[in-house]
Amino acid sequence: MKKYAEFKRDIRNKLPTWKKHMIGNGNGNGLLFKIAIYFLSITFAFVFVYPLFYMFMISLMSNTDLVDSTILWIPSSIYYRNYVFAINGLALNESYYKTVINVLLHKELIDATATPYLVELRKLLVIIGIIPLVVLFGGLYTENKKRLFYVSTFIVIIFMILPKSYVDSVYVAGTTTIVTVFSSAIIGYGLARFKFKGKGVIMMLMLLVYVLPKTLLFMPRSMLYNTIGIKGTMFALWVPSFFGQGLQATFFILIFYQFFKMMPQQIEESAYIDGANTISIFFRIALPMAVPAFVISLTYGFAVNWNEMFLTNIYLGGNIKTIPMLLQGLQAAWGSAADYSVNSDFVNVDFTEAKAFAGTMLSIMPLVIMYGIIQRFFIESIDKSGITGE
């Protein structure tokens, strides 16, 4: 009995320690809490990673492996030619600088293709214009303009050596996103910091347009753009984006509205006392404070515009083909991309889901790289801006 009493006393003395290790002190440091967090994290990660892993493994299989019921995940041998076929089908086998040479030296080569000469020339001017724009606007926030020049020049060089299809996609998605986000910041700042009659009506109309299906408005807009002569050019995407009617523009306006609404009034009052005007306050005070909102809007907006095919194809009239557009028509264009020569592999030359998945992996690769680079800043920006969901 004495030993039993000593055993009970030891258990009673050690129970708080074990309880602290297992449950914690209410601060989330308990072992059970950590196990639950890791289990949920791994489960959610598997839900998101599984489709990518599945597509990647299937894209490495030959047609023989696809029909082999004994092969589920691991291919018998890596068949990399699926990616070679997909690169040809998505027009990723030609660098953009070669197109630039054709634009500058051989205008008739551009006129003979689906892309007009002026569209290509405008694209080239926009890409080269990155250098002065970065130096000009970056000079408002830093005095190291030489570094801005080197960084912007490096970006232009990267554009030149990228495949033409990637450049077209980044050009369409990037410029449209930048115009949309910049106009959303201006509109959000005006709605948040100024009081005027009709502001509630504007907010209501803005939300009404946001909930309307995009397919409901594309026909009258397409007719309008055709009438004013901007259909078939990037202005068909830039003009509505500039006036707050781009893809997800209302969502971005609400993000900036909420962010600028939290900006202390004393900051503006101090700036006005120092002689600043509204424009200088917006560019020198409001915009630097809204970096988290910009990170969220630019990241999400670029992904939305990158994957958009319906409106982009209609408004551009097929003058610019992005990667998702080419991916959509990959099977239809397979006859010109596939190798049916005498020395080709006739067993694996036919179009299958392996080649479709290879094209999909090449299509989402820029988005994966972008998220991998900025995911830390993206998460921090969501935390700072207080956004919990869309």
Backbone angles phi, psi at 98, to 5 degrees: -70, -40
Mean pLDDT, residues 307-324 taken together:
85
Query: Looking at the predicted structure, is the pLDDT value of residue 357 above 70?
Result: yes
Residue 211: strand, helix, or coil: helix
Question: Who has greater pLDDT, 31 or 151?
Answer: 151
Query: Looking at the predicted structure, is the pLDDT value of residue 151 above 60?
Result: yes
pLDDT for 261 equals 87
Q: What is the pLDDT of residues 225-265, one digit of tens each?
A: 888 888 888 888 898 899 888 888 888 999 899 888 888 88
Report the alpha-carbon distance of residue 348 to residue 61 in Å, rounded: 10
What letter would DSSP give residue 341? S
Q: What is the pLDDT of residues 170-188, one digit of tens each?
A: 999 999 999 999 999 999 9
User: Which residue reads 């309008």 in tokens?
Assistant: 224
Report the alpha-carbon distance of residue 365 to residue 92 in Å, rounded: 13
Residue 290: strand, helix, or coil: coil
Residue 319: strand, helix, or coil: coil
pLDDT for 114 equals 46
**CATH assignment of 81-94+163-385, among 3.40.190.10, 1.10.3720.10, 3.40.1280.10, 3.40.50.150:** 1.10.3720.10
Beta-carbon contacts of residue 93 (< 8 Å; ≥ 6 apart): 87, 163
pLDDT for 171 equals 92
Tokens for 103, please give them: 């634009």
Domain ranges in the chain are 2-59, 81-94+163-385
User: Which residue reads 């209609």 in tokens?
Assistant: 314
For residue 384, the one-letter residue type is K
Report the alpha-carbon distance of residue 96 to residue 92 in Å, rounded: 10
Rounded to two decimals, what is the model's pTM?
0.81
pLDDT for 120 equals 78
Q: How far is CA 130 from the centre of its chain?
A: 19
Report the alpha-carbon distance of residue 214 to residue 219 in Å, rounded: 10
Mean pLDDT, residues 344-358 taken together:
73
pLDDT for 112 equals 45
pLDDT for 342 equals 44
Report the alpha-carbon distance of residue 9 to residue 5 in Å, rounded: 6
Q: How far is CA 282 from the centre of its chain?
A: 26
Are 55 and 352 within 8 A, CB to CB?
A: no
Residue 342: strand, helix, or coil: coil
Q: What is the mean pLDDT of the chain?
A: 79
Neighbours of 26 (CB within 10 A): 8
Mean pLDDT, residues 99-107 taken together:
72
DSSP percent split of the chain into helix, strand, coil, nearest 5: 75, 0, 25
Q: How confident is the model at residue 377 (pLDDT cuts 50, 70, 90)?
A: low
pLDDT for 387 equals 45
